[in-house]
Amino acid sequence: MQPQRPGPPNYGPPPPQQPNPGYGQPPVQAAYPYDPRYGAPQQYAGYVPYPAGPPAKSKSDGAIIAVVVVVVVLVLLVVPLVLYVMVTGLTASPGQTRPTITLSSGSWSGGSLVISITSASTSVLDSSSLTFQIITNSGEFYYNGASGATIVTGTTSTTVTYNDAGGPGASRVGPDDNIAVTASPNPNPLRGATFRVLQGADILGSAVLP
């Protein structure tokens, strides 16, 4: 008699199958930000959705950045320039002040007189840069020009000559220099007129002619 083979082990009834938690379930809306161009990502019950990409940059952001950069550059350039102009205008050095000349008029001798320079505020003033004016109380000019010219106004010829005490070739204004004025045929139209010494548009000194 052959031995009886044991049958398969009895494990009991099979366990019931668990349904797929995501199968047949409606999609669930994702609760985190998503790219609006591709619509909202969907997730199913029991599954973790794939993270959405970063939000797209707005084109207006680049324009705003460009405007901010331009404004900052303009401020950095303009503000120092304005401050420089203000500071230099308030702190002008003494060497940039207008020079002055003190004049003393002599008396007429015939049709001539001599105007002496009694003082000058600087010793480096170039006499060749000076011009001269003779203007009456009514505003009529009998002379307006550099040294050595002769100007005719009406019937009067007027000549103004600068004489440097240093002799020919000297050109520095000093207290020993003088200015000769000649009026022909007579100086009557020039009596009481104002004699001016100028450098450019600046009046350096003046005297009243007797």
pLDDT of residue 73: 87
In this prediction, residue 75 has a pLDDT band, given cuts at 50, 70 and 90, of confident
pLDDT of residue 33: 57
Task: Compute the distance between CA of residue 179 and CA of residue 197 in angstroms, rounded to an integer.
Answer: 10
pLDDT of residue 11: 60
Query: Mean pLDDT across the chain, nearest whole number?
Result: 80
CA 61 vs CA 15, 39, 58, 68, 160: distances in Å: 61, 23, 6, 11, 74
Q: What is the mean pLDDT of residues 72-98?
A: 73
pTM of the model: 0.55
Higher pLDDT, 6 or 80: 80
Higher pLDDT, 27 or 146: 146
- The CATH number that domain 101-208 falls under is 2.60.40
In this prediction, residue 80 has a pLDDT band, given cuts at 50, 70 and 90, of confident
pLDDT of residue 32: 52
Q: Indicate if the pLDDT at residue 171 is higher than 50.
A: yes
Task: Compute the distance between CA of residue 50 and CA of residue 182 in angstroms, rounded to an integer.
Answer: 108
Q: Indicate if the pLDDT at residue 145 is higher than 60.
A: yes
Terminal CA-to-CA distance of the chain, rounded, Å?
173
